[in-house]
Structure 1
Amino acid sequence: MYFEGILIGFCTFLIIGSFHPVVIKTEYYFGTRPWWIFLLLGLAGMISALFIESTFWSCLSAITGFSLLWSILELFEQKERVKKGWFPKNPKRKY
């Protein structure tokens, strides 16, 4: 049997799941200012996937890259969730 597909699916689940708290903490401590870091890392992940010979690692690199790019959108949506009162504001940060 070939478990590579199942393993890629599981890793995708973990990658996407790990970015939820990263987005929440980033918005809490830094706001939306670090969006460009997500952009650079996302592009790096996608570009590196083009040069990785292993299908498994290339897929994980691309999945991580696209998840980082999606996190930019989530970062700005998290800002709106904080404005609506769904998530706490950081009292030490200026808005």
Structure 2
Amino acid sequence: MFFTGLIIAFGTFLIIGVFHPIVIKTEYYFGTGPWWVFLVLGIGAIIASLCIAQVILSSLLGVIGASCLWSIGELFEQKKRVDQGWFPKNKNRQ
């Protein structure tokens, strides 16, 4: 049996699950300012995935890169959700 697809699917599920609270916490503590960090990490992970021959690692790096890039949009959407009152606003952040 080959478990490559199952490992990639499970890794993708975990990566997406981890990025959800990362976006929420980033917006809570820092606002939308660090969007460029997600951009740099996303591009770096995608470039790294293109340079690695091992299928599982390359695939998971591609998923991480795509998740970082997707998180940029989600960061600004999270700000809207906070403004609508769906999530708490950090009173200590200017």
**TM-score after normalising by structure 2:** 0.99
Inter-partner Cα distance in structure 1 for 2:48 and 2:7: 20
Map of 1:23 onto structure 2: 23
Where does the alignment leave 5 or more consecutive residues of structure 2 unmatched?
Answer: none
Letter in 2 for 1:9: A
Which residue does 2:41 correspond to in 1? 41
How far, CA to CA, are the matches of 2:32 and 2:54 in structure 1?
35
Matched, 1:3 2:25: no
TM-score, structure 1 as length reference: 0.98
1:24-48: CA deviations, max 9, x gaps?
A: 0000000000000000000000000
Counterpart amino acid of 2:20? H
Q: What percentage of aligned pairs have identical amino acids?
A: 61
Counterpart position of 2:53: 53
Q: How large is the RMSD of aligned CA atoms in angstroms?
A: 0.4
Number of positions where the alignment pairs a residue of Structure 1 with one of Structure 2: 94
For 2:89, the equivalent position in structure 1 comes to: 89
Q: Structure 1: which 5+ residue stretches go unaligned? A: none
- Kindly report structure 1 stretches of 4+ aligned residues shifted beyond 4 Å: none
AA aligned opposite 1:7:
I
**Which residue identity lines up with residue 4 of structure 1 in the other structure?**
T
- Structure-1 separation of matches of 2:87 and 2:50: 38
1:32 is matched by which residue type in structure 2? T
Letter in 1 for 2:12: T
